[in-house]
């Protein structure tokens, strides 16, 4: 195929073109959010049930139960672990097995804390010490430290650190808190908000997992859409994601039954999202609850004001003036006096399910109120398919599309955006992924056929980045042990990542998006080869991205002649996927080539190549 491209005509590529979509769908607690202790504060559980004790077990002669504390540590955290030795000697206590395991990694400094009290302290105070540490399930102690205490009926918070000196290949490890029963006898004590963090990204307290953050940073992501996705909405308005329940200190956060059927601790709350997004150099695309819930109901028009006010307060938390705005003052007190960078607000999620209420009043009620309050922000309307732009008033200037389909759709869709009007409307492909094979078979992980088909579609994002301002694969992350949606861009275990073939496609397009799209000859839709050419003005490098579903060669003139080029190719046999047992079945490889006035490049079928030449 001959490719010729201009070195002058084209259009700018927005820095937000490629980014990340996130919601807690087996991906926040126990995933991106670095807390290692599962069920750390017994949030939203029913005391006295075995479910309330999820992840907790006794150690030695002791009994534990979750109780509604007679004197809760806070109104948000009414429950506590009630612990009592059932012997008067020996080491006794309790353990937590983490989120499907706890990694023990040499050199890691772990940072922990817990609240404790003695509901009925003995007349003569007892002083002793707790031992906290990490151990194998068979009792080998890898690291530990001691925390002195004196019995008191009021809550105390202990803080501690310990460092692992060895790396355990198994993650089947336990956090343990023990005491010598001989020192306290059969004394009942209460504990809650028992927390243990590994090192976090940018060393942030209450922060994010380092390896996941670094894998995402390597994608050079331009934006981060949060907090959902379905997890924004909940099954009822009472179960929505309500920003105010996710800020202030952890003892003030009640947690919530998330949309995906498990309790969200909300330790990853609005502040942590915004701080991490800033640390990662991304732009937030922040969603606000817009009155639609996943039971199919919409908040009535005359009851919407509560949620409009909540959205205004959520935005003020992020960008308000801390000296005059109460919500911004919370942000400042949490450690960020200056406003966060924020440009994009998404009104709801997939409101096409409720197109009448969104079209009739919810969109306009929110946009009218929010743009009056924050005229400088851009408001994104939601819908789903790439069908027709919804009839909304005021007419949206940004529109979020979602599409999940098979390889043929994405290969045939390479020109879907070429035909859309240039009338000021900017498109956000907020969610997309190959979720089934052409046969209709489901996918446990992305496979090379689907990932390369996504690449064909993404050459369309490059070419149409004058009207596509953002695009993100979804879902981004999932635990390998608790999965509700497949495939996902990255799967994780407690100490490893599975970077999918689609992860590498997303990374190659994002890292080589350049900042200027160069007009080139194009192929026809559903052709076996599609390409796009972009340039990075700062380094004057050209990036030629080529999707190949069949073996073919490329013939491209380079002006001015360039001597050498470097390339990256992702290719594999049909059906190949990266899995927990074969995490690197298909990874990109680099190569170099000599350029001249033209490049002749032969590529195998089922491949994505990026050729880089310096002009």
Residues that bind ligand LX5 (CB under 6 A): 23, 228-230, 349-350, 402, 431, 474-475, 485
Q: Provide the CA 12 distance to its chain's centre, in angstroms.
A: 28
Structure tokens at 74: 């806070």
Which residue, 97 or 400, has its beta carbon nearer to ligand LX5? 400
CB of 227 to ligand LX5, least distance (A): 10
Which residue, 114 or 503, has its beta carbon nearer to ligand LX5? 503
Q: In whole angstroms, give the CA distance from residue 207 to residue 110.
A: 13
Q: In whole angstroms, give the CA distance from residue 132 to residue 365.
A: 53
Detail the DSSP E strand segments found in 435-551. Answer: 468-471, 477-479, 490-493, 496-499, 516-520, 529-536, 541-548
Q: Which residue is nearest to ligand LX5 (CB)?
A: 229
CB of 478 to ligand LX5, least distance (A): 10
Torsion angle in degrees (nearest 10) through CA of 430, 21, 398, 361: 90
CB of 404 to ligand LX5, least distance (A): 6
Structure tokens at 300: 């009535």
446, 433 contact by CB (below 8 A): yes
Lookup result for tokens 């992980």: 445
Which residue, 259 or 568, has its beta carbon nearer to ligand LX5? 259
Which residue, 173 or 472, has its beta carbon nearer to ligand LX5? 472
Determine whether 125 is exposed, middle or buried from the number of CB atoms within 10 Å of its CB (0-12, 13-18, 19+). exposed
Which residue, 191 or 226, has its beta carbon nearer to ligand LX5? 226
The Cβ of residue 574 has, within 10 Å, a number of other Cβ atoms equal to 10
CB of 442 to ligand LX5, least distance (A): 14
CB of 294 to ligand LX5, least distance (A): 8
Q: In whole angstroms, give the CA distance from residue 84 to residue 82.
A: 7
CB of 425 to ligand LX5, least distance (A): 21
Q: In whole angstroms, give the CA distance from residue 443 to residue 489.
A: 12
CB of 41 to ligand LX5, least distance (A): 26
Q: What angle do CA 165, 170, 173 make, to 5 degrees?
A: 75
Structure tokens at 441: 């078979």
Which residue, 176 or 219, has its beta carbon nearer to ligand LX5? 219
Which residue, 85 or 228, has its beta carbon nearer to ligand LX5? 228
Which residue, 229 or 320, has its beta carbon nearer to ligand LX5? 229
On the question of a cis peptide bond just before residue 335, with omega within 30 degrees of 0, the verdict is: no
b/e burial code for range 434-462 (CB count within 10 A of at least 16 → b): bbbbeeeeebebbbbbbbbbbbbbbbbbb
CB of 8 to ligand LX5, least distance (A): 40
CB of 461 to ligand LX5, least distance (A): 18
Lookup result for tokens 């999202």: 273
CB of 579 to ligand LX5, least distance (A): 21
Which residue, 213 or 382, has its beta carbon nearer to ligand LX5? 382
Query: Which residues neighbour 30 within 8 Å (Cβ) at sequence distance 6 or greater?
Result: 38, 98, 99, 100, 479, 482
> Minimal CA–CA distance to 298: which of 378, 226, 366, 395?
366
CB of 349 to ligand LX5, least distance (A): 5
Which residue, 230 or 437, has its beta carbon nearer to ligand LX5? 230
Which residue, 100 or 485, has its beta carbon nearer to ligand LX5? 485
């Amino acid at each position: 195929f001959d490719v010729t491209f201009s070195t002058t005509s084209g259009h700018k590529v927005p820095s937000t073109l490629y980014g990340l979509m996130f919601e807690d769908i087996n991906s926040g607690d126990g995933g991106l959010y670095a807390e290692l202790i599962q069920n750390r504060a017994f949030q939203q559980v029913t005391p006295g049930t075995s479910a309330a004790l999820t992840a907790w077990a006794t150690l030695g002669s002791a009994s534990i139960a979750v109780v509604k504390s007679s004197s809760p540590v806070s109104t948000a955290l009414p429950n506590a672990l009630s612990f009592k030795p059932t012997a008067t000697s020996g080491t006794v206590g309790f353990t937590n097995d983490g989120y499907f395991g706890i990694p023990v990694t040499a050199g890691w400094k772990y940072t922990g804390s817990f609240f404790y009290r003695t509901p009925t302290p003995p007349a003569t105070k007892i002083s002793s010490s707790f031992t906290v540490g990490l151990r194998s399930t068979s009792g080998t102690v890898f690291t530990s430290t001691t925390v002195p205490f004196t019995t008191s009926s009021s809550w105390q918070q202990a803080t501690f650190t310990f460092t692992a000196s060895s790396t355990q290949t198994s993650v089947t490890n336990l956090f343990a808190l023990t005491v010598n029963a001989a020192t306290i006898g059969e004394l009942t004590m209460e504990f809650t908000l028992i927390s243990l963090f590994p090192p976090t990204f940018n060393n942030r307290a209450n922060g994010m997992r380092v390896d996941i953050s670094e894998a995402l940073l390597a994608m050079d992501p331009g934006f981060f859409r949060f907090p959902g996705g379905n997890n924004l909405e909940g099954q009822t308005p009472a179960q929505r994601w309500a920003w105010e329940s996710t800020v202030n200190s952890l003892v003030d956060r009640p947690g919530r039954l998330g949309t995906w059927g498990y309790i969200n601790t909300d330790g990853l709350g609005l502040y942590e999202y915004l701080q991490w997004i800033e640390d990662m150099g991304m732009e937030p695309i922040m969603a606000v609850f817009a009155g639609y819930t996943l039971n199919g109901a919409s908040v009535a028009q005359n009851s919407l004001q509560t949620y409009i006010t909540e959205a205004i307060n959520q935005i003020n938390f992020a960008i308000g003036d801390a000296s005059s705005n109460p919500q911004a003052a919370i942000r400042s007190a949490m450690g960020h006096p200056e406003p966060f960078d924020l440009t994009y607000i998404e009104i709801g999620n997939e409101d096409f399910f409720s197109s009448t209420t969104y079209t009739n009043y919810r969109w306009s009620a929110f946009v009218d109120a929010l743009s009056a309050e924050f005229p400088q922000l851009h408001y994104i309307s939601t819908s789903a398919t790439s069908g027709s732009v919804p009839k909304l008033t005021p007419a949206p200037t940004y529109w979020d599309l979602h599409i999940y389909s098979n390889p043929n759709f994405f290969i045939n869709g390479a020109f879907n955006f070429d035909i859309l009007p240039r009338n000021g409307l900017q498109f956000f492909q907020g969610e997309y992924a190959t979720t089934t094979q052409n046969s209709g078979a489901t996918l446990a992980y992305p496979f090379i056929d689907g990932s390369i088909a996504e690449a064909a579609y993404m050459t369309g994002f490059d070419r149409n980045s004058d009207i596509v301002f953002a695009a993100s694969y979804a879902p981004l992350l999932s635990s390998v042990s608790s999965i509700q949606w497949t495939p996902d861009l990255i799967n994780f275990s407690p100490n490893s990542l599975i970077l999918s073939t689609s992860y590498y496609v997303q990374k190659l397009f994002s890292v080589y998006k350049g900042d200027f799209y160069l007009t080139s000859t194009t192929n026809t839709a559903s052709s076996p080869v599609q390409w796009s050419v972009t340039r990075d003005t700062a380094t004057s490098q050209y990036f030629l991205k080529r999707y190949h579903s069949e073996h073919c060669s490329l013939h491209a003139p380079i002006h001015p002649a360039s001597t050498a080029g470097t390339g990256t190719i992702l290719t594999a046999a049909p059906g190949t996927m990266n899995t927990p047992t074969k995490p690197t079945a298909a990874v990109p490889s680099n190569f170099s080539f000599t350029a001249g006035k033209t490049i002749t490049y032969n590529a195998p079928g089922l491949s994505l190549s990026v050729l880089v030449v310096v002009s």
